[in-house]
C-alpha cells in the first residue's frame, strides 16, 4: 500500500515524469555518494567476507557429507550476512533438491523505483585433482594480489560485490537505497540449476512478484580496464552413453579376437558423431534452425580483444573447430557436441589382459539460439541408436545439466545502465560480447518470471572450474563500487524505464 507521499509522487509521475526523474536523481546522487564513502571504509572487511564464505566447501555435485554440510554452511553464512546488511524477509528456502535458495528482499525505495532481482550462486565446482592445488581449495588466502581458493571467483566473489553494494547503501545512507531489491542466491548452478525453474514457478506470484529486472552476478568481464556487456550465453544438454558387450570382462587370450570389445565398439560409435576433417557434428538435424551471426554480431567479434597469449598459456597447440568459422564464432554462435568423459577396461598400473565388457562416455552439447534442449537430445539419441555397433547393448540417459541458450538485445534498460557504469568506471566505451558458457537461470527468468536479465559480473574467468581458481583483489574491490553505481543508475531511470520491457530475454529466438 502506497503512503501519502508516494501517492503524491505517483500522481506527479503521471502528470510530469521528467520532474519526478529530476527530483529522484538528486536523491540518488546523494545516496550514491554516501554508499561510496561507506564502501571505502569497509573494503578490508569486504575482503574478509570473501575469505569466510569461500572457506565453506559447498560442492553441489558431491553427495559427501562434508560437502552437503558445506552447502548448508554457505547458505547459513549468507542468510546471516543478508540480515546484517539490513535486508528483510531473509530466508533459506527449500527447493525440490537438497540445495536451498537464500532469499531476501527490501522495498524501501517505494513504488516509483524499480525492483531488482539479484541472482548469484554459492555452490562451487569439485576440486579434484586435489594434488594440483598450490594451497588447499577451501583454505582461501590472498597472495600475489589475488584471492586463491575454490569459489573465490565463481561465484562467491561475484555475488558479494552485489551484497556489499547493498550493505553500503543500507548502512551508509541511513537505511536507504535507490532501488527495491530481492536476492536469489542458489546452490545448484554448477549442476545446471535443476530445481530453479519449479522454484521460480512456485514463488512467481508471491516472493518473486513485481520484479522489473534480474541482474546476474554470475558472468565475466573482458579485462580489468575494458568493460563489456554480455549479450548471450549458450545453452546446454548432457548425456551418458553406456555400452555392454557381455556380462563380464573376458580373458583376452582365450577369447580375444572372436568376441566384441566394448571399448572398440564405443570408440567406433563416438567417431560417427563428428567429421574428422570439417569438425562438423554429423548428428542429423543438429544445426537445424541455428541462427547465423548478424552484421552487428560480427562487428562485436571483430572488436573483441582476443587474448592470444592467455590462450597459449593453457598449453594448447593451436585452434581448431568447425570448418569455415572463426574462433570467437565457434565459441559464441556455434553449437558443440563434445566427449567430456570416457571410460572402459583396465585403468590401473601395468596391464590386465581382458576384453572389456562395458564402456561409457559422457557427452555435453552447448546450444545456441534456434536450438532447444529436448529436441537436440532426441536427435543425438536417434543418431546413437542408428549407429549402434552390432553385438552391443546401448543405453543412453539424459544428465541433469540442461539449459536453453540466452540472448539479450543490447539496448534494454538494464544493459544500457550497465554500459553507462562500465564506461564511467573504466574510462572507455564498453564492448558487447557473448560467452560460450551457460547460466541456466537467465533463460528461466524470462520464461518463468517474464523478466529481462542483465549480466553484471567482474570475473576474469581465472582458472575457474580448475585447480588454483583465483580472483584479482582489485577486480573484487571494483565490483562493489560498480554495483553501487549500477543500482544508482537504475534508480535514476525509475520504474518507468521498464514499462513494456517484460521478458526481454529472447531465449525463444
Ligand atoms: C542385452 O540386452 C538384452 C535384452 O534386453 C538382455 O537380455 C541381455 O542380458 C543384455 N546383455 C548384456 C550383456 O547386458
- Per-residue pLDDT of 176-215, as tens digits, reads 999 999 999 999 999 999 999 999 999 999 999 999 999 9
Other residues' Cβ atoms within 10 Å of the Cβ of residue 62: 18
Ligand 1 centroid – CA 393 distance (Å): 6
Please provide the DSSP assignment of 6-73 as one string: HHHHHHHHHH-HHHHHHHHHHHHHHHHHHHHHHHHHHHHHHHHHHHHHTTS--BTT--SHHHHHHHHH
Q: Give the closest residue (by CA) to ligand 1 atom 2.
A: 393
Ligand 1 centroid – CA 256 distance (Å): 20
- Does residue 260 contact residue 275 with C-beta atoms inside 8 Å? no
Cα 47 to Cα 52: distance, rounded to the nearest angstrom: 9
Q: Give the closest residue (by CA) to ligand 1 atom 4.
A: 393
Cα 392 to Cα 387: distance, rounded to the nearest angstrom: 11
Ligand 1 contact via 246 beta carbon (within 6 Å) = yes
Cα 409 to Cα 18: distance, rounded to the nearest angstrom: 26
Pocket residue to mutate for ligand 1, from 247, 265, 358, 393, most atoms within 8 A of Cβ = 393
Cα 469 to Cα 121: distance, rounded to the nearest angstrom: 16
> Which residue from 214, 204, 156 is spatially nearest to 183, judged by alpha carbons?
214
Which atom belonging to ligand 1 lies closest to the Cα atom of 357?
13
State if pTM tops 0.85. yes
Label the pairing between strands 101-106 and 406-407.
unpaired
As a whole number, the mean pLDDT across the chain is 93
Grid cell at residue 409? 538485445
Q: Give the closest residue (by CA) to ligand 1 atom 14.
A: 244
The pLDDT-based confidence of 62 (bands split at 50, 70, 90) is very high
- Does residue 358 contact residue 277 with C-beta atoms inside 8 Å? no
Which of 268-282, 353-367, 488-502 comes out lowest in average pLDDT?
Answer: 488-502
State residue 13's pLDDT score: 57
Give the position of cell 576384453: 355
Pocket residue to mutate for ligand 1, from 244, 248, 392, most atoms within 8 A of Cβ = 244
Ligand 1 centroid – CA 244 distance (Å): 8
End-to-end CA distance of the chain: 38
Cα 104 to Cα 239: distance, rounded to the nearest angstrom: 35
The pLDDT of residue 502 is above 60: no
State residue 65's pLDDT score: 97
Ligand 1 centroid – CA 269 distance (Å): 18
Per-residue exposure over 324-353, b if at least 16 CB sit within 10 Å of its own CB, e if not? eebebbbbbbbbbbeeeeeebbeeeeeeee
Amino acid at each position: 500500500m502506497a503512503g501519502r507521499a508516494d501517492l503524491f509522487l505517483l500522481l506527479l509521475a503521471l502528470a510530469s515524469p521528467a520532474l519526478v526523474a529530476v527530483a529522484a536523481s538528486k536523491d540518488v546522487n546523494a545516496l550514491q555518494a554516501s554508499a561510496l564513502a561507506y564502501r571505502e571504509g569497509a573494503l578490508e572487511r569486504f575482503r574478509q567476507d570473501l575469505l569466510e564464505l569461500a572457506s565453506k566447501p559447498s560442492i553441489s555435485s558431491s553427495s559427501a557429507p562434508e560437502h552437503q554440510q558445506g552447502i548448508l554452511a554457505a547458505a547459513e553464512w549468507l542468510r546471516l550476512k543478508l540480515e546484517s546488511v539490513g535486508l528483510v524477509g531473509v530466508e533459506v528456502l527449500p527447493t525440490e533438491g537438497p540445495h536451498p535458495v537464500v532469499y531476501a528482499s527490501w522495498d524501501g525505495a517505494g513504488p516509483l523505483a524499480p525492483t531488482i532481482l539479484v541472482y548469484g550462486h554459492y555452490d562451487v565446482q569439485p576440486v579434484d585433482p586435489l594434488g594440483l592445488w598450490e594451497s588447499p581449495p577451501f583454505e582461501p588466502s590472498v597472495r600475489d594480489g589475488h584471492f586463491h581458493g575454490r569459489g573465490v571467483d565463481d561465484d562467491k566473489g561475484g555475488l558479494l560485490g552485489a551484497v556489499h553494494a547493498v550493505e553500503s547503501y543500507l548502512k551508509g545512507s541511513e537505511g536507504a537505497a535507490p532501488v527495491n531489491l530481492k536476492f536469489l542466491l542458489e546452490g545448484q548452478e554448477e549442476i545446471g540449476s535443476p530445481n530453479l525453474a519449479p522454484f521460480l514457478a512456485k514463488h512467481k506470484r508471491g516472493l518473486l512478484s513485481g520484479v522489473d529486472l534480474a541482474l546476474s552476478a554470475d558472468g565475466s568481464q573482458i579485462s580489468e580496464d575494458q568493460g563489456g556487456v554480455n549479450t548471450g550465453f549458450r545453452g546446454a544438454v548432457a548425456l551418458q552413453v553406456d555400452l555392454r558387450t557381455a556380462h563380464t570382462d573376458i580373458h583376452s587370450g582365450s577369447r580375444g579376437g572372436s568376441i566384441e570389445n566394448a571399448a572398440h565398439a564405443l570408440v567406433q560409435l563416438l567417431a560417427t558423431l563428428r567429421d574428422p576433417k570439417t569438425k562438423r557434428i554429423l548428428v542429423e538435424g543438429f544445426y537445424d534452425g541455428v541462427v547465423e551471426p548478424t552484421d552487428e554480431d560480427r562487428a562485436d567479434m571483430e572488436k573483441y580483444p582476443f587474448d592470444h597469449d592467455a590462450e597459449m598459456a593453457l598449453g594448447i597447440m593451436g585452434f581448431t573447430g568447425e570448418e569455415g568459422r572463426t574462433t570467437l564464432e565457434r565459441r559464441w554462435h556455434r553449437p558443440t557436441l563434445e566427449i567430456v568423459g570416457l571410460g572402459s577396461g583396465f585403468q590401473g598400473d601395468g596391464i590386465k589382459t581382458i576384453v572389456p565388457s562395458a564402456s561409457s562416455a559422457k557427452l555435453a552439447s552447448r546450444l545456441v539460439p534456434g536450438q532447444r534442449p529436448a529436441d537436440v537430445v532426441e536427435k543425438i539419441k536417434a543418431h546413437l541408436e542408428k549407429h549402434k555397433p552390432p553385438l552391443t547393448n546401448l543405453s543412453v540417459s539424459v544428465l541433469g545439466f540442461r539449459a536453453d541458450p540466452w540472448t539479450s538485445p543490447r539496448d534494454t534498460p538494464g544493459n544500457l545502465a550497465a554500459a553507462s557504469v562500465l564506461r564511467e568506471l573504466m574510462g572507455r566505451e564498453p564492448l558487447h560480447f557473448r560467452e560460450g558458457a551457460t547460466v541456466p537461470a537467465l533463460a528461466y527468468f524470462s520464461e518463468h518470471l517474464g523478466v529481462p536479465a542483465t549480466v553484471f559480473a567482474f570475473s576474469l574467468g581465472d582458472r575457474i572450474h580448475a585447480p588454483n581458481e583465483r580472483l584479482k583483489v582489485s577486480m573484487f574491490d571494483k565490483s562493489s563500487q560498480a554495483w553501487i553505481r549500477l543500482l544508482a543508475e537504475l534508480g535514476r531511470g525509475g520504474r518507468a524505464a521498464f514499462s513494456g520491457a517484460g521478458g526481454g530475454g529472447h531465449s525463444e529466438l
